[in-house]
Structure 1
């Protein structure tokens, strides 16, 4: 029955997906179709509906809409320009200074907003005209923006890691948050290395020197924005509040900060709340339908069958992790991050647990793979956002992205095969 169930599940899912059916509906349709070979029609439908409701009955999931709303408020609250000014100071007078400013800006804003799409849009919108004015190729500038946008999905706070924590059976959110720092920073640094050599080759200009007084003013101006990271993460790590409560605090702080910067408008609030509801509804529907999938897998034994099949091919952890990386990289190009985590965590986590891989390490490895998909055709959200603000097509930007893909893949291999890249900070803080 396992083989039959697996064939039906995959066949229906991919038929619906390639027919243009939304991912959540594809998951639900494939799961219910598979359940019909196990249960009568009425039991299958009733069980599916019941599991969709109970799957969302989680206090931890309340963090998702709060972090979404926080990111939207920040995107409209004048925070991006202050972080860009700070990024200019940090980038210094290196070749291709504006490229490095873009990367650092994405790392800062992405980590605060928790969204690669928001980072690509907010930072790219400001940086694209500046880079074009200084003679940077528009397509290349868009590639730099896109390549660095997902760093905020790894550098906490990250909604993606909260979802992984939930589906992996309660992996520590605080440990996951701390584990994302070094991989996220290495991602950003790898794109800066590529940008440096390209800038040297194309002789892109260096920005004007910033005096100590100017730099200090910029830094002080950005401190209120940066404090959000320390408040939210510090509170979660030291047990002052939960991740969900931290997300609510992030919303309150974002509003206060936007008022402080005199960029908060009550007239915009209904539109921001509506955008939050729309984005949250999409995420929650995917999570709800994925709970049906988990029931199907539980009853049919699909994860165990896949695990036995993989371990039957090889028991070498290096080969197994390489196979998983390839699968996740492919999957990430056409399935969005949240559903991919919900689908593949129950399949792959038991396999890596069998040879002693830490679930925190695996979570960061999985997130890193899927973040690459976020900037890869055909589905990448950050890719579309970066192309939109950069006023270039996906076809135009694909070639300039290749050197960045190479550098990011090297970092992925470091994250995969050197556990301390992910686990050093969690261990340091006793998580």
Structure 2
């Protein structure tokens, strides 16, 4: 058995064993990487190499966007943005059967897109809407399921931290601007698919609808939400127009979110201590994950794992449809036990060369891998969003699973569409001349 094959087996077996034992993902990645390095080189060079790769992995200007977007999300969460978006969505579509469920979806899409965080969207929207939905006759577990699934749209609709991470993991084959623009149609399709399932459920269960509001109230709610919605145009528009980079856009988002919180009179100077501390903790966790994942990604290249897998899949399975289906299946399974950040950093270098060899554009693959992992964060045993959404709604996870399954099926249908119809992901970036 060759040293390369032994290294690959040690890497994956040790990583799987550590995860199964309950070791945090970042430590599992770092330990398994060190074990493989020790097989190839001695102790001190292994430590030096791992340290260098972790340090250089996060020495990237584009990654500065992540702490800024995390901070902007916290500022918006505290600054009353969620409430104004909910009021606007309710005025817009609350009068439909099952209207509050649609309000939940639209609000999660808007807030998730503005904040760039699915967890922030689930927390802010769920804590505001769940009790109100229950008081109007919606089953609490159904409300939680809608909130959990719809909050994932903010990971596709820009600005999205995970798309920035994919751009880094792709080695520059997909730009942040192209990924941001590409995310709109898949993200909206996911929202519409969830709405369709809600419509079927609402008609069957006879869910209530809110009273129709007049144009005057709709205008008032739109005016109150307008400044929040403007942030999307500033951030994404500025990046696409080439006015500023994603990192600069994230810094602008922080300033804008802070000013908006003061304007709404729901944020004061005393709030900044807790906001900064929470943002710093979240950033530290994310950056440590990125650092260890980048060390493992380098190891993949060193051992030639992407090339081995590409040759194996392309030579053994000649049908691209079957290969893409297999990649989706693997990513769906991975998403059930691994957080998005390390999953993107680890599996992008493995599967992107395979996808590109079979004709898939890297921007399209970015949408595929992110949507796969969006589904994963909604599923046990490690589904972060599932646990957050259930906790916010104060519903046991076991009760949320049943109403969540049809919504996840709708998301899988959209996944198949963006996998086999490239124009869904590539039409907008091509329209803006961001890709060939």
TM value normalised by structure 1:
0.99
Q: Give yes or no for contact 1:173–1:243 (8 Å, CA) kept in 2.
A: yes
Matching residue of 2:291? 288
Matching residue of 2:110? 108
Q: Give yes or no for contact 1:119–1:149 (8 Å, CA) kept in 2.
A: yes
Matching residue of 2:186? 183
State yes or no: 1:25 paired with 2:27.
yes
Q: Cα RMSD over matched residues?
A: 0.9
Q: Secondary structure at the match of 2:267?
A: coil
Matching residue of 1:336? 339
Q: Structure 2, unaligned stretches of length 5 or more?
A: none
Q: Give yes or no for contact 2:98–2:209 (8 Å, CA) kept in 1.
A: yes
Q: Structure 1, unaligned stretches of length 5 or more?
A: none
Q: Give yes or no for contact 2:113–2:159 (8 Å, CA) kept in 1.
A: yes
For 2:408, which of 405, 408, 425 is the aligned residue?
405
For 1:251, which of 249, 254, 257 is the aligned residue?
254
> Using the alignment, how far apart are the partners of 1:256 and 1:38 within structure 2?
53
Q: Give yes or no for contact 1:107–1:152 (8 Å, CA) kept in 2.
A: yes
Moved over 6 A (4+): none
> When the two structures are aligned, how many residues end up with a matched partner?
431
Matching residue of 2:38? 36
Q: What's the CA shift for 1:92?
A: 4.2
Q: Give yes or no for contact 2:94–2:100 (8 Å, CA) kept in 1.
A: no
Matching residue of 2:223? 220
Q: What's the CA shift for 1:315?
A: 2.0
Q: What's the CA shift for 1:15?
A: 1.1
Q: Give yes or no for contact 1:8–1:30 (8 Å, CA) kept in 2.
A: yes
> Using the alignment, how far apart are the partners of 2:188 and 2:304 within structure 1?
38
Q: Give yes or no for contact 1:32–1:292 (8 Å, CA) kept in 2.
A: no
More moved, 258-267 vs 332-341: 258-267
Q: Secondary structure at the match of 2:159?
A: coil
Q: Following superposition of structure 1 onto structure 2, how do residues 103-182 of structure 1 map, counting pairs within 5 Å?
A: 103-170=105-172, 171-182=174-185
Cα-to-partner distance string for 1:23-43 (whole Å, 9 max, x where unaligned): 011001001101111111111
> Using the alignment, how far apart are the partners of 2:409 and 2:294 within structure 1?
35
> Using the alignment, how far apart are the partners of 1:39 and 1:374 within structure 2?
37
Q: What's the CA shift for 1:291?
A: 2.1
Q: What's the CA shift for 1:100?
A: 0.4
Matching residue of 2:378? 375
TM value normalised by structure 2:
0.98
> Using the alignment, how far apart are the partners of 2:104 and 2:297 within structure 1?
40
